[in-house]
Structure 1
Amino acid sequence: MKPRSPENVYHRGPLTLRGAQVPRSTTDQRLLDDRGRTDWVHTDPWRVLRIQSEFVEGFGGLAEIGPAISVFGSARTPRDNPTYEIGVRLGAAIARAGYGVITGGGPGLMEAANKGAVEAGGTSIGLGIELPFETGLNEYVELGINFRYFFVRKTMFVKYAEGFIVLPGGFGTLDELFEAITLVQTGKVTSFPIVLIGVDYWSGLLDWLREQALASGTISPEDLNLLHLTDDPDEAVAIVAAAGSRWGPPAAEHHGTPEAQS
């Protein structure tokens, strides 16, 4: 078989293309031709750029918030539910302790924690996600970022928080809870306490972990010690504070706007 002639070799960045792989137009031609196809915006390489931009926006937006605590809980809890008031009390307790409040920015218990933070004069942060059945950030979010990708959003919840406080919730709350447990268990994050609020709500889960997972040897006894359980918002905040801070002692001045800190 004869080698291909040089004119049949096409170079596109690090790629070498021959034969049927040689494109009929150049990259510049496709960029500048507004009549070209637009399906390229849905390709994986383009998604990589969108993912990169979400990390950049998230890191840039949250870099100066100071010490904070991420709060999780159900988006479906109505305002007249007693647990909503516990969420408000929790947000206020976090703010009084000198921490910012980070939630998923949605309604329900996320809104409650953001509301408590605002009413107590603290920083209220919401990290929203693009979902077909939830729209926009709740009215108590002062610093809000919307994400397309769950995994980018999850990184922000962990990277900028001193710990997690988890109110009663469903699959989304459980997802965040067990991801946090896994990160601590595997040493990916350290000094990262996880507190569950709601003894009645969470006791069944802890019993199952103890009676099934631990008894079967799929987790270790020390793994159960990663979770703290209480009904008291002030106790939950004290547990996080006692674990120490990556920022040093929390202080109110950490929680102003970036302009105020400059």
Structure 2
Amino acid sequence: MGNPDEQGPVEEQYLGPVVRRRSQIKPGTTDQRLLDSEGDSEWVHTDPWRVMRIQSEFVEGFGALAELPPAISVFGSARTPEGTPEYEAGVAIGKALVEAGFAVITGGGPGAMAAANRGAREAKGTSVGLGIELPFEQGLNEHVDIGVNFRYFFVRKTMFVKYAQGFVVLPGGLGTLDELFEALTLVQTRKVTRFPIVLFGSAYWGGLVDWLRDTVIAQGKAASRDLHLFHVTDDITEAVTLVTKEVSG
């Protein structure tokens, strides 16, 4: 037998930037597959189609939020009960941020997020909720004036950072910690600059700060200067001043 590469020219198919040869060639053209209404619908679950969905989420998010005034993202637990000190602190922080000239962005859910949105709405400011598709999600809270729902966490995270000038982090669970450490990593690696992060509630966050200092930093996994990436306070006025001073300063 001769060398297969010497048996004449190789058949090729060009599909946009993709080249297919030999057994990988697909029948028809891209236009034919687009216009053909018959056949398997499995294509809507493929990775190339997901890329289009991801792109559309970025486009919708950018379009909805591009004209926001300066904003602060407020995070906290969806399980914070209404009427508790934590909830009331969220309301007060939302109001104070609006009075300082900022829109308020939250994850759009209940609990601490609803509290911050409520404070912003009651202060007649811009109240934004960025929701996420989850099996147990309850939808956007009633205090959201501009809401965008996302399928993908990473697209939503981009919106939190891109359209906010800082974070206020109320006591929260794994989702709150996820957003907090995402922001800390972006600041530490200088992917974003001048991005203040305020943790509200020293009793709640104190153990985490102690662990960062006494374990993570003590074992050389982070630098002591990383403790300066965030502030901890129990005072609402101070929280708002810290998160907005660095923005305007």
TM range (shorter): over 0.9
The percent identity for this pair of structures is 65
SS at match of 2:7: coil
The corresponding residue for 1:121 is 124
SS of alignment partner, residue 124 of structure 2: coil
- Equivalences, count: 245
Q: How much has 1:143 moved relative to structure 2?
A: 0.5
Counterpart check, 1:244 vs 2:247 = yes
Cα deviation, 1:10-42, whole Å, max 9, x if unaligned, reads 332233333222223332222222221111111
The superposition leaves residues 59-107 of structure 1 with CA deviations (integer Å, 9 ceiling, x where unpaired) of: 1111111111000000111113221111111101111111000000000
**Corresponding position: 1:106 with 2:70:** no
Distance 1:209 1:15, change over 3 A: closer
Q: Name the TM-score, length of structure 1 as normaliser.
A: 0.89
Instruction: Return the match for 1:210 from 213, 216, 221.
Output: 213
Structure 2: distance between partners of 1:216 and 1:146: 40
Please report the RMSD computed on the Cα atoms of aligned residues, expressed in angstroms: 1.5
1: CA distance, partners of 2:104 / 2:153: 19
Identify if the C-alpha distance between structure 1 residues 21 and 59 changes in structure 2 by more than 3 Å, giving closer, same or farther: same
Distance across 2 between alignment mates of 1:240 and 1:99: 11
Whether 1:185 and 2:188 are equivalent positions in the alignment is yes
Provide the C-alpha distance between the structure 2 equivalents of 1:168 and 1:118, rounded to a whole number of angstroms: 21
CA-CA distance at 1:234 after TM superposition:
1.5
Which residue does the alignment assign to 2:7? 3
Give structure 2 stretches of 5+ with no counterpart.
none
**Which residues of structure 1 form unaligned runs of 5+?**
250-262
Structure 1 residue ranges, 4+ long, deviating more than 6 angstroms after superposition = none
Which residue does 2:41 correspond to in 1?
A: 38
**How far apart, CA to CA, are the structure 2 residues paired with 1:14 and 1:117?**
48
Distance 1:224 1:128 in 2: 30
Give the letter for the 1:192 counterpart.
F
Q: Which moved more, 1:34-43 or 1:20-29?
A: 20-29
State the structure with bigger RCO (CA 8 A, min sep 6), 1 or 2.
Answer: 1
Secondary structure of 1:244 counterpart? helix
Query: What is the distance in 2 between the residues matched to 1:170 and 1:9?
Result: 53
Aligned-pair CA distance for 1:4: 4.2
